[in-house]
A and B are shown apart, each in its own frame.
Chain A
Amino acid sequence: MINHKETDIAVIGAGAAGLSAGAACASEGVRTLIIDREPLPGGVLLQCIHNGFGLHYFKEELTGPEFAGRMEEKARQAGAEFLMDHTVMEIRNQEDKKELVLYSAEDGVTLVHAKAVIFAAGCRERNRGNLGIPGDRVAGIFTAGLAQRLLNMDGFLPGKKAVIVGSGDIGLIMARRLSWCGIKVETVVEILPHPSGLSRNIAQCLDDFNIPLRLATAVTKIGGSDRVEYVRIAPLVNGEPDLSREETIECDTVLFSVGLIPETELIRNCGVTINPVTNGAVADGNMMTSVPGIFSCGNVLHVHDLVDFVAEESELCAKKAVQYIKGRIKGGSQIPTEAVKNLGYVIPNSALCETTRFYMRPRILCPKAVLTVRNGEEIIYQKNVLHVKPAEMITAELSGEKLQNLPEDAKLSFELEPVEVKS
C-alpha cells in the first residue's frame, strides 16, 4: 500500500535552513511539511555542541543544539508539521504540483503532493577519496564531521594521535575537541597559502592549544597496513609538493576537513540547473531554481560561514515560496548578476526590482578592498570591505529604488578591488 499526503509546501531537510524556512512558511498560514531522514530535527547543528551560533539572529551566543531547538520550537509554534526518519528518494515535477517519493520504516512508501518544494538538504563533506589523496586504504581516516558525530553524539574516540587535513571550520573545531578529549593533534595541514576557516576559530581552536598550522602543504601519502600509521606531507612549490622536503608524521587518525559539497542529486535528477561554481542550484531573485516551484536555500544552495545567514536567507526563500503558491510571485524578466573580479560567485544569480541582499565569496586575501557593482560602465553601488578573505562571505544590499531605475537590458557585475593600506 502506498500512502498519500498533501501539503502546500514541502521542505526537504530539517537542519538550520529547513527549520528556518519551515517556520517562516507556517507562520504565513500555509500548510508546511518538514521532511528529514534523521530521527531528530536539527541536522548537523545537533553535533555542533560548541557555542558561537545565533549572535546575529537571536542576538545571543548559543550552541548548535540550542540554535536548532529554538528554530524547531519556532516552526512547531507556527504549526509546521514534521515527518522525521523519512528519506526522500525522488522529486517528481508535475505540471501543477510536485510529488515526493518518501521511504521510511514507519510508513513504508509515501507520496507527498505539494504545491511547492523548498530544497534545504545541506551538504556532504568532501572526503579523502574525492580528492585522490595517495596512500593506503586503512582504518582511521574520517571526515571531520563524521568524527564530530561519533564523538559528540555517540561518545566514541576516533583515535589517539591525529593529523587534520584542511583548515575548514569543522576541522578547526575538531582540533580543539580532540585536544579536550586527550587526543594529541599533531598538526593541521592546509594546501592553500591561507586558512580556510574563520579567524576566530584559528585563534580559539589552534593557537590556544599550540597546534601548528602548516599552510601551502600537501599530503603526499597516508600509510599503514590495517590502521593509519603515518602521514607524509611536503610543502608546495609552484603548486607541486617538494618531495625533497617531505616529512613523516606518526599518527593513528586522519581527519579531513576539505570542504562541503551541496547534496543536489535529488533536484538535479529532476532537471534543476546547477551552478558549477557553487555546486548548488542556480537561483533567481525569488530564490527559485530553474524548475518553477522548486526553491532552494541554506548550504545546499551555497556554503555559508554562519548559521545566522542561513536563517536569514531561508526566511526570504520561504516568503517567496509562499508568494508562489498564492500566485503572487513576481514574474517577468530579472536582472542577471555575475561575479567578474576576485569573487567566486554572487547569489542570487538574477535579481528582481526590489531590495535584494547579495551574497558573495571573495577569492582574495587582503586587509581592505572596494566592492563595486556596475551595469556596464555605470557604478550602481560601492562599499569598502575590511579583512577580506575567502573564508568570510561578503554581503551587499541594493535598494529596490536603485534596481528599478536600471534599463531593461541591465546586468549587474560585481567586482572586488584590493586597496593598499598605508602602514
Chain B
Amino acid sequence: MEEYDIAIIGSGVTGSATACVLSRYDLRIAVLEKAADVGFGVSKANSGIVHGGFHYPLTTLKGRLEIQGNLMFEKLQYDLDFPFRRCGILVAAFTEEELAIVHKLYLRGVENRVPGIEFCSRERMLALEEKLSSDVMGGLYAPNGGVVEPYRYVFSLSELAKANGAEFFTRYEVVKAVRNQELWELTAVDGRQLRAKWVVNAAGLFADQVSEIFGAEKFRIVPRKGEEYLLDRNSKAYPSKVIFPVPTAHSKGVLVIPTVGGTTMVGPTAEITEDKKDAATTAANMKAIFAMAKNMVPAVSERDLITSFSGSRPSMAGEDFMIAPSEVVPGLIQAAGIQSPGLTASPAVAEYIRDLLKEQGVRMTEKKHLVTSLPQVRMIREASLEEAAALHQENPSWTRIICRCEKISEAEIVNAIRRGHTTVDGIKFYTRAGMGRCQGGFCSYKILKIIARETGMSMEEITKRGRSGNLLFGKITELAEKDEVKS
C-alpha cells in the first residue's frame, strides 16, 4: 500500500488550492476525487465571483479569509494563467430601506479595509454602469471585486500541484478510513487503498459523510441550491461590473455577472434542498431569476438564453467555514462548510490549512526544485492573424476550428485531453468548446472523435462527465448483426 504524508479528499477549489500550496514542500501528497475530473462538484457550478470583502465581519473566519484571498488573485493569475478580471462590484439599492442596508455594508467594507470602496449616489451608480436600471437609488462600489472562470482556476491549481509532484486520483471515492499505527488507511469504493499520515477533508457537499467515515465530528452539510442562466455573448445586457442586489440573510441575491468568457450570467437562487445530487433547474426559478435580473438590468432577456445550470452551496449550521484539526480523531483536518465566498477565499484557505498542519507538527521544508508557474494556455480566438499563422506553422491543428461558437481549435482540445481531461464536460470546462450558443450541436461529434483518437477509447466509452453518462449506445452495424443472428 502506497504511503503519503497528506491525503486530501476532494479536488474542488479547496482541495486543489491546498494541494497546490502543500506541494511546495517535501511532502508526498495524494488528492482523492470521486468524480471523473477535478473540480466537478461545487467548484464548477457557481457564480465565479471574486468577492470584495464587505459581506462578512472580520470576526468570522470566512470574512478574514475572503479579504486575504481577494488580495492574492493577481499573483495567482500571473503564475497560473487562468481567466480572471478585477472588474469591480456594484451593489444596487432600489428603495430607501435597501439603501440603508447598503450603507451598513459600506461601513463594514470600510471596517474590513476594502480598498477603494465607495458609497454611491444614483448619478454615480449610473455613471459607473450604463447597463443599470435608471430606477436605482444609490449603492456601493467595490473596485476590488472581480470575476474568475472557476473551473479553469481549479484546473490550474491542480496542474501546478501536479507539476510539483502531487498525485491526483480521480473516480476515487473514499468509503472506509481505518487508523492503524499513526496512519490513516483509506479504501476507495473500487477497492483501491492508500495510507496517509494526515488527511484533509475538503469534500464539499459530502464533508459530513467523509467526517462520519473517519468517526470524527458529527455535523450536517445542507445543500443550498442555486440556479444560474447564461446569456449569449451578443446579449446587450453584458455589464462592465458585477451587479449585486441588496443581500438577504441567506444569500447575496440574484446577480448580473459579466463572465470572463464574455457571456452574461444571471443568478443564483438560494434554496435549501434535501438531495445533494439535485442539480435540476425549474421553470419557476427561471421566471423569478429573469424578473429580478431585469429589475436591475433591463437589457436582460430570455431571448438571449444559451443554457442554465444548478449547483449547491455546502452550507452548515453557524454559516461560517469550519477549518480546524478534528477534536475527535487524530490526523484529520476538517475543511467544511466552505460555501461562498469559498472561491475568493481559496488561496487564503489553503495557506490557513498549511499553517494548521505546521502547528500540528508537520515538517515543511521547501522543495529544492520548485515549479512556480504554468505555461500560458494559448487560445486561437485571442491570437492576432500573425500569431495564428505562426501557431499554424508550429502545428496545423491550431487553425482547425472545432467549436465555431467559441472559436476553439483542435490544438486546444488535444491539449486539454493530454492534460487528462477526457470527458466531454472536462474538455468543455477546460477549453470552452461546446459552451457557446449551439451548446455542442455542431462540435460535439467532432470532439467525441478527437477524444477517441487521442485516448484510444471507443466512441461508446466516452461519457459526458464520467460514471454511466455514456453518450452513445453502439453502432447500427452491430444492430444488423444481432438481427441476422435472430433470423
A-to-B contact residues, CB < 8 Å: 1-2, 37, 85, 87, 89, 101, 103-109, 111, 124-125, 127-132, 134-140, 143, 145-146, 149-151, 154-160, 181-182, 220-221, 223, 225-227, 241, 252, 265, 268
Return A5 CB to nearest CB of chain B, in Å. 14
Q: Are B380 and A127 in contact (CB under 8 A)?
A: no
Q: Are A268 and B469 in contact (CB under 8 A)?
A: no
Which residues of B sit under 8 angstroms from A129, Cβ to Cβ?
Answer: 230, 305-308, 439
- Classify the secondary structure of B's interface with A: mixed
Q: A108-B396, A132-B281, A156-B459 are in contact. Are A149 and B305 (CB under 8 A)?
A: no
A-B contacts, 15 of them at CB < 8 A, read: A105-B392, A108-B392, A108-B393, A109-B392, A124-B441, A127-B439, A131-B305, A132-B308, A134-B283, A146-B442, A181-B479, A221-B280, A226-B465, A227-B468, A227-B469
B463 contacts partner chain A, Cβ-Cβ < 8 Å: yes
Interface residues as binary, B390-407 with A (CB distance below 8 Å gives 1, 0 otherwise): 001100110111001001
Q: Are B441 and A146 in contact (CB under 8 A)?
A: yes
Which residues of B sit under 8 angstroms from A225, Cβ to Cβ?
Answer: 277, 467
Which B residue sits closest to A152, measured CB to CB? B476
Known: A127-B439, A132-B305, A268-B234. 19 other contacts (CB 8 A): A89-B401, A101-B385, A104-B400, A107-B399, A109-B385, A111-B385, A124-B438, A127-B441, A128-B439, A136-B280, A145-B441, A146-B440, A146-B442, A146-B445, A149-B445, A155-B475, A157-B474, A220-B283, A226-B468
Q: A145-B441, A223-B280 are in contact. Are A151 and B476 (CB under 8 A)?
A: yes
Q: A103-B399, A132-B229 are in contact. Are A127 and B438 (CB under 8 A)?
A: yes
Q: A124-B441, A130-B439, A146-B444 are in contact. Are A103 and B280 (CB under 8 A)?
A: no
Which residues of A sit under 8 angstroms from B393, Cβ to Cβ?
Answer: 1, 108
Which residues of B sit under 8 angstroms from A104, Cβ to Cβ?
Answer: 399-400
Which residues of B sit under 8 angstroms from A265, Cβ to Cβ?
Answer: 234
- Complex formed: what's the CA distance from A137 to B309 in Å? 7
Per the 8 Å Cβ criterion, residues 429-446 of B in contact with A are 437-442, 444-445
Interface residues as binary, B416-456 with A (CB distance below 8 Å gives 1, 0 otherwise): 00000000000000000000011111101100000000000
Return A296 CB to nearest CB of chain B, in Å. 18
Interface size class of B (residues with CB under 8 A): 35 or more
Q: Are A2 and B385 in contact (CB under 8 A)?
A: yes
Q: Are B464 and A37 in contact (CB under 8 A)?
A: no
B412 contacts partner chain A, Cβ-Cβ < 8 Å: no
Q: Which of A2, A131, A134, A221 has the most CB of B within 10 A?
A: A134
Which residues of A sit under 8 angstroms from B442, Cβ to Cβ?
Answer: 124, 146
B286 contacts partner chain A, Cβ-Cβ < 8 Å: yes
Which residues of A sit under 8 angstroms from B471, Cβ to Cβ?
Answer: 139-140, 158
Q: Are B401 and A103 in contact (CB under 8 A)?
A: yes
In the A-B complex, the 4 residue pairs with the smallest Cβ-Cβ separation, listed nearest first, are: A129-B307, A108-B392, A226-B469, A105-B400
Which B residue sits closest to A135, measured CB to CB? B280
- Complex formed: what's the CA distance from A1 to B445 in Å? 31
- Complex formed: what's the CA distance from A160 to B280 in Å? 23
- Complex formed: what's the CA distance from A252 to B471 in Å? 10
Return A265 CB to nearest CB of chain B, in Å. 7
> Of B385, B396, B445, B459, which one neighbours A105 at CB under 8 angstroms?
B396
Which residues of B sit under 8 angstroms from A89, Cβ to Cβ?
Answer: 401, 407
Which residues of B sit under 8 angstroms from A127, Cβ to Cβ?
Answer: 307, 438-439, 441
> Of A109, A150, A226, which one neighbours B472 at CB under 8 angstroms?
A150
Which residues of B sit under 8 angstroms from A268, Cβ to Cβ?
Answer: 234
How many A-B pairs fall under 8 Å by CB? 149
Q: Which of B277, B281, B438 has the most CB of A within 10 A?
A: B438
Which residues of A sit under 8 angstroms from B181, Cβ to Cβ?
Answer: none
Return B467 CB to nearest CB of chain A, in Å. 5
Q: A2-B385, A101-B385, A138-B469 are in contact. Are A130 and B401 (CB under 8 A)?
A: no
Q: Are A124 and B437 in contact (CB under 8 A)?
A: yes
Return B401 CB to nearest CB of chain A, in Å. 4
Return B194 CB to nearest CB of chain A, in Å. 26
Which residues of A sit under 8 angstroms from B407, Cβ to Cβ?
Answer: 89
Return B382 CB to nearest CB of chain A, in Å. 12
> Of A125, A134, A145, A156, which one neighbours B286 at CB under 8 angstroms?
A134
Q: Which of A125, A139, A151, A156 has the most CB of B within 10 A?
A: A139
B135 contacts partner chain A, Cβ-Cβ < 8 Å: no
- Classify the secondary structure of A's interface with B: mixed
B388 contacts partner chain A, Cβ-Cβ < 8 Å: yes
- Complex formed: what's the CA distance from A150 to B472 in Å? 9
Q: A104-B399, A149-B445 are in contact. Are A2 and B463 (CB under 8 A)?
A: no
Which residues of A sit under 8 angstroms from B469, Cβ to Cβ?
Answer: 138-139, 226-227
Q: A135-B280, A181-B479 are in contact. Are A157 and B441 (CB under 8 A)?
A: no
Which residues of B sit under 8 angstroms from A108, Cβ to Cβ?
Answer: 388-389, 392-393, 396, 399
> Of A106, A130, A134, A140, which one neighbours B281 at CB under 8 angstroms?
A134
- Complex formed: what's the CA distance from A98 to B169 in Å? 53
Q: Are B385 and A125 in contact (CB under 8 A)?
A: no
- Complex formed: what's the CA distance from A259 to B445 in Å? 20
- Complex formed: what's the CA distance from A124 to B466 in Å? 28
Return A170 CB to nearest CB of chain B, in Å. 11
Which B residue sits closest to A87, measured CB to CB? B401
Q: Are A160 and B438 in contact (CB under 8 A)?
A: no
Which residues of A sit under 8 angstroms from B283, Cβ to Cβ?
Answer: 132, 134, 220, 241
B386 contacts partner chain A, Cβ-Cβ < 8 Å: yes
Which A residue sits closest to B385, measured CB to CB? A109
Q: Are B476 and A160 in contact (CB under 8 A)?
A: no
Q: Which of A109, A131, A132 has the most CB of B within 10 A?
A: A132
Return A276 CB to nearest CB of chain B, in Å. 9
Which A residue sits closest to B283, measured CB to CB? A134
- Complex formed: what's the CA distance from A241 to B282 in Å? 13
Q: Are A109 and B459 in contact (CB under 8 A)?
A: no
B68 contacts partner chain A, Cβ-Cβ < 8 Å: no
Return B240 CB to nearest CB of chain A, in Å. 20
Q: Are B401 and A109 in contact (CB under 8 A)?
A: no
Q: Are B441 and A156 in contact (CB under 8 A)?
A: no
Q: Are A138 and B438 in contact (CB under 8 A)?
A: no
> Of B307, B460, B464, B479, which one neighbours A226 at CB under 8 angstroms?
B464
- Complex formed: what's the CA distance from A333 to B444 in Å? 46
B279 contacts partner chain A, Cβ-Cβ < 8 Å: yes
> Of A103, A154, A227, which one neighbours B388 at CB under 8 angstroms?
A103
- Complex formed: what's the CA distance from A37 to B407 in Å? 12
Which residues of A sit under 8 angstroms from B400, Cβ to Cβ?
Answer: 85, 103-105
- Complex formed: what's the CA distance from A127 to B307 in Å? 9
- Complex formed: what's the CA distance from A207 to B246 in Å? 55
- Complex formed: what's the CA distance from A104 to B401 in Å? 7
Q: Are B438 and A1 in contact (CB under 8 A)?
A: no
Q: Are A157 and B473 in contact (CB under 8 A)?
A: yes
Q: Are A37 and B472 in contact (CB under 8 A)?
A: no
Which residues of A sit under 8 angstroms from B468, Cβ to Cβ?
Answer: 226-227
Which B residue sits closest to A153, measured CB to CB? B445
Interface residues as binary, B308-347 with A (CB distance below 8 Å gives 1, 0 otherwise): 1100000000000000000000000000000000000000
Which residues of B sit under 8 angstroms from A155, Cβ to Cβ?
Answer: 475-477
Q: Are A37 and B404 in contact (CB under 8 A)?
A: yes
Q: Which of A103, A146, A221, A225 has the most CB of B within 10 A?
A: A103
Q: Are A156 and B444 in contact (CB under 8 A)?
A: no
Return B422 CB to nearest CB of chain A, in Å. 14
Q: Are B399 and A226 in contact (CB under 8 A)?
A: no
Return A18 CB to nearest CB of chain B, in Å. 16
Q: Are A227 and B475 in contact (CB under 8 A)?
A: no
Q: A132-B308, A150-B472, A181-B479 are in contact. Are A37 and B401 (CB under 8 A)?
A: yes
- Complex formed: what's the CA distance from A258 to B442 in Å? 16
Q: Are B392 and A156 in contact (CB under 8 A)?
A: no
B302 contacts partner chain A, Cβ-Cβ < 8 Å: yes
Which residues of B sit under 8 angstroms from A158, Cβ to Cβ?
Answer: 471-473
Return A245 CB to nearest CB of chain B, in Å. 16
Return A303 CB to nearest CB of chain B, in Å. 15
- Complex formed: what's the CA distance from A1 to B306 in Å? 36
Q: A109-B389, A109-B399, A134-B281 are in contact. Are A87 and B474 (CB under 8 A)?
A: no
> Of A1, A130, A150, which one neighbours B305 at CB under 8 angstroms?
A130
